[in-house]
Each structure stands twice: as structure tokens, then as C-alpha cells.
Structure 1
Amino acid sequence: MIWKWFCQKMAAYWRWVARSQADKAALALARAEEWRRRAGL
């Protein structure tokens, strides 16, 4: 259960990075998607 929570937090973090740093947005969104998949959503 903690793993799913952790994955969700990581996905949220990467989405925040994408918003705050436009130059890294594509990379960050890919990372967020990766974490979202790991959480099994």
C-alpha cells in the first residue's frame, strides 16, 4: 500500500517539475507517466 502512495507522490512531483520548469517538461511528464503506471492506476 505504501508503494502505491509513494508512486503517486513521485508522479505528482514530476508533474510539478513539468509545470515549474518548461525546459524539462517533456522529460518530467514522461517520468510522471512512468510512476503512474507503477502505481497501477
Structure 2
Amino acid sequence: SDIIRIDLSDSNGTRERDFYDSSWAELAVTFGTSYREARQI
């Protein structure tokens, strides 16, 4: 399946996380303090 890379920014700065399922990526966005970018890699 596609790998989803999520860039989440918070008070500590930016962190990138890779998710192998889009539903996990959506959860990351939901619980992230702010949504910056989601792209397939």
C-alpha cells in the first residue's frame, strides 16, 4: 500500500512521520496540533 508521510508541527517544531495506511495518517492529522502537509511518497 501507499506510504503516507505526515508533517505535523507543534510547540516543539516540526516532525515527520510515515504511515503505511491512510487511516493512520488521518488519525495523525486528527490528533496533531496542526496540519501542514500530507503527501504520498
Give the TM-score band, short-chain normalised: 0.3 to 0.5
- Determine which structure has the larger strand proportion and give its number: 2
How does the TM-score come out when normalised to structure 2? 0.35
How does the TM-score come out when normalised to structure 1? 0.35
- Determine which structure has the larger helix proportion and give its number: 1
